[in-house]
Chain A
Amino acid sequence: MSMLETYFAQLEEGLKKKLERKTTARRKFIYEISRIGGKMFDDNLSSAWTTVFVPFEILNAMGVAGNFIEFVGAMMAGAGIGRQYLEKAEAAGYSTDSCAYHRTIVGAALEGIMPEPDLLIGASCPCDGGIKVLKRIGEIYKKDVFVINTPYEYTPESLDYLVNQFKAMIDFIKERTGRDIDFDLLRQSIRNNNKAREYLVEALELCKNVPSPASSNDWKNFIMFVLLAGSEPAIEVARIYRDEFKEKVGKGLAGLADEKYRLLWIQNRIQFKNNLINILESKFGANVVIDELNYIYWEPMDEEGDPLRALAIRQITHPIIGNIDRRLDVLAMLGREYKCHGAINPAHWGCRQSGGARYMFKEALREVDVPVIHLDVDCVDERNFSEGQIITRLEAFMEML
């Protein structure tokens, strides 16, 4: 068993035991995610490495277990083992100016600790780096990469273009694995998505309550939910979140006891172990009540029509795609509706699509009286993390609030 396989197996085992003692939404979520991680090593499934916004429902309906590379990068940082792979990537010539989510995975692939993927599928959005790194991984394993050109704008033509690419992706998978798509399964996953969506929307609505029933940790890295999308466990996880928060609100229980400040978190959390959340909670009573990326921006999917079309619409309407307007609207809306006192922008090092927009974030949130702090952190590379300096800035910001 490789180190990574062991890691996921242990994670799954540990959480299973904890769940037997007490079921919490967070535990259930991480448990299901660890099982996804473990699927990478399941010989009955074909494995696909992807970038984050790829339709996993299609993969699952073809017996392909997908994992997005940023997820693995984040896992490694969280487990404290990312550093050696970063160094490996840098020794191979990958610049330290690039995003560490991607550098970690390239280093891991070069080091050979990852199981060889059967398929590589990447999308051009949300960023250039992801698809580039997937190409590099393709060269390491001598495999072609299927590229999904995510259209910039939602028009009838661009939707057709995307749907046709999904069809081409299905052919790509068929050619290489011999697996065909089960459209019944796919349609079921659309229905499952809608069910899960209902619960999630409710759960997120409940967090608008003052105080929020959720603590900063409950929703951490919830972006990983995309891996579960369309599955039965997804519905379960969503329902448990909804139930847990409903109960807490009913009983007047807060996620963070004595919540004084409510914060919006922009883009991704910091993956390696650090004290920021602790300090926010213990010193300032500050709670991250909403993560930008957790917002359910997509309408319920069309269960009667073409499932590929429904999935394409969800992909093409993501706020992070195309121009910045949708994203700014979402941020302002969240800041306002969740009654946030402030917003934290970790401004992940090497992230151009968000780095180029940081003034626009600040401006958009200023319109709703939510001040923003830009932290300039590398969310994945702890070697560059000067905790003292970051904490000082954070504390100054909180004092300002």
Chain B
Amino acid sequence: MYYAGIDIGSLSTETVIIDDNEKSIAYNIFPTGANSKIAAQKSFNLSLELAGISPDNLQYIVATGYGRISVPFASKMVTEITCHGRGAYHLFPGTRTIIDIGGQDSKVIKLEDSGKVIDFAMNDKCAAGTGRFLEVMARAMEIDLEEMGPMSLKSEEEISISSMCTVFAESEVISLVAQARPKEDIINGIHNAICSRISAMMERIGMEPEVSMTGGVAKNSGIVAKIKQRAGGKINVPDEPQIVGALGAALIARDIANRE
């Protein structure tokens, strides 16, 4: 028997299919676009194809994420907080704190020893502190998002970007570029800015080890390095940080199916 988890985010949709041994047999990352219902269906179909199974082979489906309500064929809806908790705990059983920085929001999730979520904090009102902030800055500097991490690690001088607001920060970055400050330093400054946006949340929830990172921004080595520092020098980052929510959803699907 197989179980599926679908995570419909505002930017991307992921579907993970696992088997009875909790092993992931297929996943994909699909752009959500304007219609979450269609994106969910397409991502779902794609994973089925990759897994080589049909919908009848699925015993239970859990939908999560901002668009979880647009999955009529889901058996249950569970929030992405619980799903990220489950997914990260599965990948790194020592996880007690999860830092999830997605495209449009960021979260800090606290787990107890059993893996159950006991506390969380979210920022979904403001772009600063999310992947969106990085996108805006990458555009302002005319570089690719993927370059930001490696470039920032070469920074030699600390630059502080003082504005809290993404819009103001963007104009600050533009003037730094105009002043011909090294791009590596500017990007490092941008990364500092993101981390300080999230640090209030991290301190409120507490950074109990082990700390694991999820969400698309975990692919940015520069930011990972900074969070690692705040986490006391050790941090878990999955190979594919974007699918942790969907993985957690699939695992929860299996948990529920086995209970019933």
Within the complex, are A and B direct neighbours (CB within 8 Å)? yes
Among the listed stretches A85-93, A138-146, A215-223, which one makes contact with chain B, having 4 or more residues with CB under 8 Å of it?
Answer: A85-93
CA A383 – CA B162 in complex, angstroms?
Answer: 5
Pick the contact of B164: A384, A388, A389 (CB < 8 A). A384
The answer to whether A87 touches B200, judged by C-beta atoms less than 8 angstroms apart, is: yes
A386 close to B (CB within 8 Å): yes
Pick the contact of A93: B163, B196, B204 (CB < 8 A). B204
A281 close to B (CB within 8 Å): no
> Smallest CB–CB gap between A336 and chain B, Å?
37
> Smallest CB–CB gap between A315 and chain B, Å?
37
The answer to whether A384 touches B204, judged by C-beta atoms less than 8 angstroms apart, is: no
The answer to whether B165 touches A87, judged by C-beta atoms less than 8 angstroms apart, is: no
* Contact-residue bracket for chain B: 10 to 19
The answer to whether B162 touches A91, judged by C-beta atoms less than 8 angstroms apart, is: no
* In the complex, residue of chain A having the shortest beta-carbon distance to the beta carbon of B161: A383
The answer to whether B196 touches A382, judged by C-beta atoms less than 8 angstroms apart, is: no
CA A72 – CA B57 in complex, angstroms?
Answer: 67
The answer to whether A388 touches B171, judged by C-beta atoms less than 8 angstroms apart, is: yes
Contact partners of A384 in chain B: CB under 8 A: 163-165
> Smallest CB–CB gap between A310 and chain B, Å?
46
CA A87 – CA B230 in complex, angstroms?
Answer: 15
> Smallest CB–CB gap between A105 and chain B, Å?
18
Which A residues between 76 and 103 are near B, CB-CB below 8 angstroms?
87, 90-93, 96
Contact partners of B200 in chain A: CB under 8 A: 87, 90-91
> Smallest CB–CB gap between B170 and chain A, Å?
11
CA A342 – CA B162 in complex, angstroms?
Answer: 31
In the complex, per-residue mask of A19-48: 1 if CB is within 8 Å of any chain B CB, else 0 = 000000000000000000000000000000
B199 close to A (CB within 8 Å): yes
* In the complex, residue of chain B having the shortest beta-carbon distance to the beta carbon of A89: B200
CA A361 – CA B200 in complex, angstroms?
Answer: 36
The answer to whether B203 touches A383, judged by C-beta atoms less than 8 angstroms apart, is: no
How many A residues touch B, CB cutoff 8 Å?
13
Contact partners of B162 in chain A: CB under 8 A: 382-383, 385
CA A92 – CA B163 in complex, angstroms?
Answer: 21
B73 close to A (CB within 8 Å): no
In the complex, per-residue mask of B186-225: 1 if CB is within 8 Å of any chain A CB, else 0 = 0000000000100110011000000000000000000000
* In the complex, residue of chain B having the shortest beta-carbon distance to the beta carbon of A384: B164
The answer to whether B163 touches A383, judged by C-beta atoms less than 8 angstroms apart, is: yes
CA A96 – CA B248 in complex, angstroms?
Answer: 33
Contact partners of A382 in chain B: CB under 8 A: 162
Pick the contact of B199: A91, A96, A383, A388 (CB < 8 A). A91
CA A386 – CA B169 in complex, angstroms?
Answer: 9
Contact partners of B163 in chain A: CB under 8 A: 383-384, 386
In the complex, per-residue mask of B150-174: 1 if CB is within 8 Å of any chain A CB, else 0 = 0000000000001111001001000
Contact partners of B171 in chain A: CB under 8 A: 386, 388
CA A389 – CA B171 in complex, angstroms?
Answer: 10
The answer to whether A386 touches B168, judged by C-beta atoms less than 8 angstroms apart, is: yes
Contact partners of B165 in chain A: CB under 8 A: 384, 386
> Smallest CB–CB gap between A82 and chain B, Å?
12
Contact partners of A93 in chain B: CB under 8 A: 204
CA A66 – CA B164 in complex, angstroms?
Answer: 34
The answer to whether A383 touches B164, judged by C-beta atoms less than 8 angstroms apart, is: yes
> Smallest CB–CB gap between A380 and chain B, Å?
14
The answer to whether A87 touches B164, judged by C-beta atoms less than 8 angstroms apart, is: no
CA A386 – CA B168 in complex, angstroms?
Answer: 7
Contact partners of A91 in chain B: CB under 8 A: 199-200, 203-204
* In the complex, residue of chain A having the shortest beta-carbon distance to the beta carbon of B202: A91
* In the complex, residue of chain B having the shortest beta-carbon distance to the beta carbon of A83: B162
> Smallest CB–CB gap between B128 and chain A, Å?
11
The answer to whether A87 touches B199, judged by C-beta atoms less than 8 angstroms apart, is: yes
> Smallest CB–CB gap between A88 and chain B, Å?
9
CA A389 – CA B170 in complex, angstroms?
Answer: 13
> Smallest CB–CB gap between B190 and chain A, Å?
15
CA A96 – CA B165 in complex, angstroms?
Answer: 12
> Smallest CB–CB gap between B200 and chain A, Å?
5
> Smallest CB–CB gap between A351 and chain B, Å?
18
CA A96 – CA B125 in complex, angstroms?
Answer: 13
* Given A384-B164, A386-B165: 12 more A-B contacts, CB < 8 Å: A87-B200, A90-B200, A91-B200, A91-B203, A91-B204, A92-B204, A96-B164, A383-B164, A385-B162, A386-B171, A388-B171, A389-B168
Q: Which 5 A-B pairs have the closest CB atoms?
A: A91-B203, A386-B168, A90-B200, A91-B200, A383-B164
Which residues of B approach A to under 8 Å, CB–CB?
162-165, 168, 171, 196, 199-200, 203-204
**A to B CB contacts below 8 Å, 7 in the list:** A91-B199, A91-B200, A92-B204, A382-B162, A384-B164, A385-B162, A388-B171
